[in-house]
Amino acid sequence: MRLVIARCSVDYSGRLDAHLPAATRVLMVKADGSVLVHSDGGSYKPLNWMSPPCSLRVAQPSAEQAADGVSEVWTVSAAKSDDQLVVTLYDVAHDLSEDLGVDPGLVKDGVEAHLQKLLAEQVTLLGDGHVLVRREFPTAIGPVDLMVRAPGAPALVVEIGDGADDPAEAPPGGSHRHVAVEIKRRATIDAVEQLTRYLELLNRDPLLAPVRGVLAAQSIAPQARTLATDRGIDCLLLDYDAMRGIDDPDSRLF
């Protein structure tokens, strides 16, 4: 990557024309060929940029430009269009080049896979006596995040490719035998619809039925909560920090 801090003006031509008057800015030239023009504000968003594939040509100023204090002229041309970015540099304060190497990418914390693992280990958050059957429980339309056995229900043995054990009697009183849990970071109506499809399929299986649905998420949209309640699906808010043991909800003042 090359970083240049310089007083410069920028002219863009292409889908529209745009002009940035002369001011001190940061110019970034990345290894992928992209060129970005930043000011000291506007968060991460550049004032103007050219995405790869593009080419950068650096030219010395004409005599007239040199008389006006121009030191270099950058012309950035897009490979697949007529778009062009012309950066006219005046006073260059810093010019640094550094090989950053291969970036390992962003490692996200608190994604659905992490929530699934934690809830599988703390399945009693669904209620006392609940026992995990398995994660990624297979169905014909995709895996359910968690399949959990409700208190008092007979054990279910699942052998991939060979079905399950013989049917057992349903729990007395019509109580739910199993719980299907769909886990999201933020649950929307789409998550309710997804879990509804799973429940319709799972409740056809005499080894599993009756199956209760639980939508577990760090946040649940009001519309999703309303629809879930209407369909008999329970909602469970997940406190990621508390589940990791780095926050004790009982010790909070508020």
- Tell me, what's the pLDDT at 163? 36
Q: Which two tokens stand for residue 170?
A: 């349903």
Across the range 94-118, mean pLDDT stands at: 83
* Strand-strand pairing, 211-220 and 178-187: parallel
- Tell me, what's the pLDDT at 164? 36
Q: How many angstroms separate the CA atoms of 95 and 232, rounded? A: 63
Enumerate residues 6+ apart whose C-beta is below 8 A from 102: none
Cis omega (within 30 of 0) for bond into 210 = yes
Q: What is the pLDDT of residues 28-87, one digit of tens each?
A: 999 999 999 999 987 789 999 999 999 999 999 999 999 999 999 999 999 999 999 999
Per-chain mean pLDDT for the chain: 87
pLDDT band at 250 (very low <50, low <70, confident <90, very high): low
More confident residue, 23 or 243: 23
Report the DSSP beta bridge partners of residue 216. Answer: 183, 236
pLDDT band at 111 (very low <50, low <70, confident <90, very high): confident
CATH class of 112-251: alpha beta
Instruction: Return the CATH number of 2-97, one of 2.70.180.20, 1.10.3720.10, 2.30.40.10, 3.30.230.10.
Output: 2.70.180.20
pLDDT band at 26 (very low <50, low <70, confident <90, very high): very high
pLDDT band at 88 (very low <50, low <70, confident <90, very high): very high
Element (H, E) at 118: helix 112-121
- Tell me, what's the pLDDT at 162? 36
Inform me whether the pLDDT recorded for 8 exceeds 60.
yes
pLDDT band at 103 (very low <50, low <70, confident <90, very high): confident
Across the range 103-113, mean pLDDT stands at: 72
- Tokens 């043991």 locate to 245
Q: How many angstroms separate the CA atoms of 208 and 214, rounded? A: 15
Q: Which two tokens stand for residue 14?
A: 């292409």
Show me where the domains of the chain are located: 2-97, 112-251
- Tell me, what's the pLDDT at 207? 87
Q: Which two tokens stand for residue 182?
A: 């769909």
Across the range 4-19, mean pLDDT stands at: 95
- Tell me, what's the pLDDT at 159? 40
Q: What is the pLDDT of residues 130-171, one digit of tens each?
A: 999 999 999 999 999 999 998 877 665 544 333 333 333 444
Inform me whether the pLDDT recorded for 245 exceeds 90.
no
SS3 22: strand
